[in-house]
A and B are shown apart, each in its own frame.
Chain A
Amino acid sequence: MRLPIHPDLLAMQSTVRPEYDRFFWICVIICTTVATAIAFFLIYSAWHYRRRNANELPSQLDVKVPAEALWIGIPFLIFLGMFFYGAKLYFDIERPPDNAETVYVEAKQWMWKVQHPNGIREINALHVPVGQAIRLKMISQDVIHSFYVPAFRIKQDVLPGRYTTIWFEADKPGTYHLFCAEYCGLNHSQMKGWIYALSPGDYARWVQQGGAEGSLADTGEKLFHQFACSNCHHFAGHGPGPNLVGLYGSTVQLQNGQTIVVDDDYLRRHILTPSGLTVEGFHSSIMPTYQGQLTEDQLIALIAYIQALGNRTPEGVMAPDAQGSPNPGEHQRESRSAGKSPGGF
């Protein structure tokens, strides 16, 4: 007879998990206490004040205002505590640390496709090194899916048409379930995979065997020439299109007057339907529409390439501080406080 609870599920597997479990069980204790107290009180009243005489009329007790205030006030304070703790935990789950490595995830009915920045592709599997924060940029090709790793206590819906992000850091080598948590049609319950958390040494070996044909950005560079992007987007001097070097993560002014930060979602939308999103000072009619011509895979590769360009200075050399702050996403968040979202708001 197996234990109803898988022993593996009780151990620590990710960095948010201990905090999550602590909070969860505190809440369970609060709930159990309240429920038990009410149950006790119900049973006590039902027994102690049971009707002893069919015509009995008990004293008709009236309301005591302090009692009302007490049992409105105390629960509310407990609720507030739960709210704040829950909110803090949520922000921890939502906001990746600065040193997080980005991995792209594509969901489609009914499989998970993973693209590592080093070019390795996986299906229904994700290999990660232990002790390294991983940020997942996820997009769906069809319906809404949800990336769910119970052992890590994380879940994020994966939407069509927009990147969503989640992060985790595995603490212990092991193999963990990956589920789709948002109902997505016929084989929803089959849309699952495994997260392989490997020790750094094992991970390095795995990468070597991976047989990547060049990094994601390299693939993007090929596409960049294949789709003739390079005809207009020059890396030196002025072309018909903006110079993309250093663009990613910077703040630009659009023709419709908005100021936005160049991020994955903006780039994706601009590549697909450029109109209205063109940077001020360029002709909006030059850039063709790539809607229907690029797959989500190719878009990811192109964006990875543009992101890699973003780490260079416009002169075309690596910026001296590029190693110090390899994550343009951070820059992007910094500057967002002043700017607006690319969504048009």
Chain B
Amino acid sequence: MTEQHPSLMTIALTWFGLLGLTLLTSLLGLVNLGAMNPTVAVIIAAVQASLIALFLMHALKGPALIRVIAAGGVLWFLIMMVLTLTDFITRGWLLPFGK
């Protein structure tokens, strides 16, 4: 029971940060940035997710095992995403050699 909970200040600041980012992403959504719209939105979401995981879910101060598990989950998700997209992105490309 020795593990420390984040202080009230940390919780409050995280909350403000999250709300601010929500406001930011909502307002940016109204501006037409073309393909950057979803990109920026996902990046902001990733920042929000990191804030939640690190401070509210105690990944930062908890045991190392928790960080390994969380990082593992993200890594595996990225593996799936990247290797699946290798097919869909390169499907129409030129064949490099052959007859």
Contacts and interface: CB of A to CB of B under 8 A. Distances in A.
Contact flag (A, B; Cβ within 8 A):
yes
A345 B98 contact: no
B87 to A, nearest CB: 11
B94 A92 contact: no
Contacts of B92: 336, 340-343, 345
Nearest to B34: A257
- Nearest 8 A/B pairs, CB to CB: A341-B92, A95-B98, A97-B99, A337-B94, A95-B95, A336-B94, A91-B98, A345-B89
A95 B99 contact: yes
Given A343-B88, A345-B88, A91 B94 contact: no
Interface in B62-99: 88-89, 91-99
A17 to B, nearest CB: 15
Interface of A: 91-92, 94-98, 333-334, 336-337, 340-343, 345
Interface residues of B, number: 11
Contacts of B94: 333-334, 336-337
Contacts of A340: 92
12 contacts: A91-B97, A92-B99, A94-B95, A98-B99, A333-B94, A334-B94, A336-B94, A340-B92, A341-B92, A343-B92, A345-B88, A345-B92
B97 A343 contact: no
Contacts of A334: 94
Nearest to A334: B94
B67 to A, nearest CB: 31
A95 B99 CA distance: 7
Contact of B95 (A98, A333, A342, A343): A333
Given A91-B98, A337-B94, A341-B92, 4 more contacts: A91-B96, A336-B94, A343-B92, A345-B89
A345 B95 contact: no
A343 B90 CA distance: 10
Nearest to B92: A341
A150 B77 CA distance: 38
A147 B99 CA distance: 22
Contacts of B89: 345
A22 B92 CA distance: 30
Nearest to B97: A91
A32 B88 CA distance: 37
A165 B66 CA distance: 48
Contacts of B99: 92, 95-98
Contacts of B88: 343, 345
A87 B93 CA distance: 16
A9 to B, nearest CB: 25
